[in-house]
Amino acid sequence: MEFNSRRIRVNDIELNVVVEGEGPDVLLLHGFPDDHAVWRRQIPALVAAGYRVIAPDTRGCGASEIAPDVRGYAIDQLVADLVALLDALGVGKARVVGHDWGAIQGWQLAIRHPERVERLVALSVGHPNAYARAGLVQKLRGYYVLLIQLRGLMEFLSTRSDFRMLRRLAGCQEEFPRWKALLSRPGRLTAGFNYYRANVRLLFAADYPAVRVPVVGAWSSGDRFLVERQMTNSGRYCAAGWRYERLDGPDHWLQLSAPGEVNALLLKHLA
């Protein structure tokens, strides 16, 4: 499905941004190894419900430009991109929905710039403090974060035998042809890995302040990368309201494997 997109320069980089519909603004933030298309089953539902959807390919992803080095993917820069994007589109405050790395960015945007976030819906990934304190099982499930630190070697291993390692790690066969096409382009796999390389502390530190906007956290029982407690315990760090939604069955990419449930959840909690 094709959506209306435009090129918007923010800070030092040009982003590809889907903008569809009219009404209150909903900012959709994808994770790795995705781009805006991971929201293809949510965008029409949100537009039909009377929202304006803003779905960027974050830096280095999709059709957006690649930052020149690892430092260009530090969380400070990622959040600055989001603020600059809202400014460029004349958005004072948005409803924010994030998945995977998009959820991480959404939490940080809400922590650092609560005046720009009307409310946050975090899919799969909880508050950074809750993630860091989620215990040994969560650390073991995140083993790939440490492997990705092996620069060059992980790029080499990931692309061998038709991206076999990445295919097996992700486990989402529906999306694999899209991921392969996205990441086969020069520099794109490294750009995705650089999110993890530039923000290792973010995944393990537990000294972030509480969020002062209303938050809904959703986790799916088929998620092979994240334990439930890193989401349920996020309520301890939400000072302006917290709701938890558990989806039984869907995998990590719940917006694709359970679009009806996710759409109903979004329409319920964004209203």
Whether residue 18 contacts residue 58, with contact meaning beta carbons closer than 8 Å, is answered with: no
Strand partners, 29: 98
Is 73 an annotated catalytic residue? Answer: no
Q: Which of 36, 99, 252, 269 is catalytic?
A: 252
Active site residue 100: yes
Instruction: Catalytic residue, from 196, 208, 223, 237: name it.
Output: 196
CA distance 208 to 145: 20
Active site residue 252: yes
CA–CA dist 171, 154 (Å, integer): 18
CA distance 142 to 182: 23
Instruction: Tell which residue, 166, 161, 186, 187, has the closest CA to residue 176.
Output: 166
User: Of these residues, 25, 35, 81, 100, which one is catalytic?
Assistant: 100
Three-state SS sequence of the chain: CCCCEEEEEECCEEEEEEEECCCCEEEEECCCCCCHHHHCCCHHHHHHCCCEEEEEECCCCCCCCCCCCHHHHCHHHHHHHHHHHHHHCCCCCEEEEEECHHHHHHHHHHHHCHHHEEEEEEECCCCHHHHHCCCHHHHHHCHHHHHHCCCCHHHHHHHHHHHHHHHHHHCCCCCHHHHHHHHCCCCHHHHHHHHHHHCHHHHHCCCCCCECCCEEEEEEEECCCCCCHHHHHHHHHECCCEEEEEEEEEECCHHHHCHHHHHHHHHHHHC
Residues marked active site are found at 100, 196, 252
